Structure 1
Amino acid sequence: MDLREFQDRIRDIDHTTGWDRLSGLQLIARLTEEMGELAQSVNRVYMDRDREAHMENIGVELADCLWVITKLANKYGVDLDSQAVRLVENASKWSEDTSAHLENGLRNLRDEIGSVLGEENDRLPAG
């Protein structure tokens, strides 16, 4: 199934079941909930012993997020297939110096974490 067919099927299901009456705010709330469940699954991959079960659940949660994102697209008349094509075309034009931007961002993050940790260490009683 391609993205356009997926979007059409969700539109049909939502029309039949009445889910197309949800407001944009309700859909955003639902997406936030699904993103939280995805984050929880990713976190559990690194925290729990049953890594395989959580790895499988990441796929389930990603699909749930895609489901709600598609409902939002339908709500606002967005053709996800054409937007995906546009995104891929634009991505192929992105500068190859992306790694330099990432390195700069990581350096800034390390500096920021270091300064926060330094401030926290300054607040600790001398040992």
Structure 2
Amino acid sequence: MHIREYQEWLQAYDEARGWHRVSPSQTLVHVMEEVGEVARLVLTLEGYRDAPEDDAALRAHLQEELADAATFLFKIAYQYGLDMEAGLQGNMRKAEERYPVDQGREDMARYLERQRANLRWMEGGDPRTPEGRGGPP
């Protein structure tokens, strides 16, 4: 399936039910609701929250919620006459130009060091020193 095909199907699906008349701002609220559900599942998969399900079930649920969020984003796009396939192709070009591989790796190294510092602080150490003693990051 191509992205454009999905977007066209979604618009026809909504029009058949009269749902295409829901305002984009209300659709955006639905996006936010779905993203909240995605956040809850990610926190659970990372161990921040108790997991009532096994990882496979959580991942399947996450896939469903991500698709729900994407569906509402695609709806906003069709409501404004935007082609998401073209938008995503443009996004790919922009990302490649904006973040060369070497820069991305440098950024990731900085990110990982910051995460190590955060972990030292969470364990009661100083995030500024490898041996770790002191205050917040």
Shorter-chain TM-score: what band? 0.7 to 0.9
What is aligned with 1:61?
65
Equivalent residue runs for 1:1-127 within 5 Å: 1-45=1-45, 46=47, 47-48=50-51, 50-93=54-97, 94-96=99-101, 97-107=103-113, 110=117, 114=127, 118=135
What is aligned with 1:123?
none
The structural deviation recorded for 1:106 is: 4.7
Q: Is the 8 A contact 1:44 1:51 kept in 2?
A: no
Equivalent pairs, count: 117
TM-score normalized with structure 1 length? 0.79
Which structure has more RCO (C-alpha within 8 Å, separation ≥ 6)? 1
The structural deviation recorded for 1:105 is: 4.2
Which one is further off, 12-21 or 97-106?
97-106
The structural deviation recorded for 1:38 is: 1.0
Q: SS in structure 1 opposite 2:93?
A: helix
Q: SS in structure 1 opposite 2:100?
A: coil
Distance 1:26 1:59, change over 3 A: same
TM-score normalized with structure 2 length? 0.73
Which one is further off, 42-51 or 4-13?
42-51
What is aligned with 2:131?
none
Q: Which runs of 5+ in 1 are unaligned?
A: 120-127
Q: Which runs of 5+ in 2 are unaligned?
A: 122-126, 129-133
The structural deviation recorded for 1:104 is: 3.0
Higher helix share: 1
Q: Structure 1: which 4+ aligned runs deviate by more than 6 Å? A: none
